[in-house]
Amino acid sequence: MLVHQFLSNEYQYFGITSSNIDWIACLKKIFAFLNCDAVRSFKILGENEYKEISFSKFKKKAEKAYKKLSDEDFCTLWDNCITLFGNGFPSNPLYDSKAGDKEQFIQQLFTIRITNSLRINCDVSSDGFMTKKLKELLQHISPTNRFIVQQSKSLEFYIEYCDVERPYDIYWKVRNVGSEAVSRNQVRGTIFKGKETQNEHSNFHGPHYVECFIVKDDKCVARDRIDVPII
């Protein structure tokens, strides 16, 4: 209903079709609207009065979604939209069929029922240098320093915390993003069954990321993602 309220006041979207809409601009406007202070209540269907609803938790999610949509890299931005809305969102126009046909989404494989917590991290290492935690490196990202993982590093991703009761299955997804990933035909993006750790290497530049999923009784009950911005 809130989205309908937004669209009712945005005349440029009246009668528009999916083929000529600027998805990114539209979504950013929607989440900016949902995060504004003016959004406080909505009309409950079947009643003739407005009930005041607290949007404190919802507004935080809207703010998080807006930040994801504000990513400077177009490929990452489009992937974030698919993560937010599912594989029904239009495919990335910069990936041709050869580069993009390998990507999978967890909702295609399992029912999503997020009831538990999962946290992953990564050890970044190379011969002769001290091993560093990726999450610590990510704290140094800034508008002028967006890529902080050097190339030719060993990357060991691992589960840092998981409160799902065993037994369960672990699935990983490694996604390479950017023009170099496309030119190398190394976009990747398949979801595969794995173990507690997943070993990779920082081979080339790009705002890559890794996701982990915990599957129990054919349901994805926990998930996490970590960015890997390679210089």
Which pLDDT tens digit goes with each residue over 119-165?
999 999 998 889 999 999 999 988 788 889 999 999 999 999 999 99
Say how many CA atoms lie within 13 Å of 210 toward its Cβ: 25
- Give φ, ψ of 124 to 5 degrees: -105, 120
Q: Which residues contact 136 (CB under 8 A, 6 or more apart)?
A: none
* Highest-scoring range by mean pLDDT, 2-11, 66-75, 167-176: 167-176
Whether the Cβ atoms of residue 94 and residue 182 lie closer than 8 Å to each other: yes
What is the value of pTM for the model shown? 0.72
Say how many Å lie between the first and final Cα of the chain, rounded: 43
Q: Is domain 97-230 in CATH 2.60.40.10, yes or no? A: yes
| Strand (E) or helix (H) holding 208 | strand 206-216
Stretch(es) of the chain classified as CATH 2.60.40.10: 97-230
User: How far is Cα 193 from Cα 172, in angstroms, rounded to an integer?
Assistant: 6
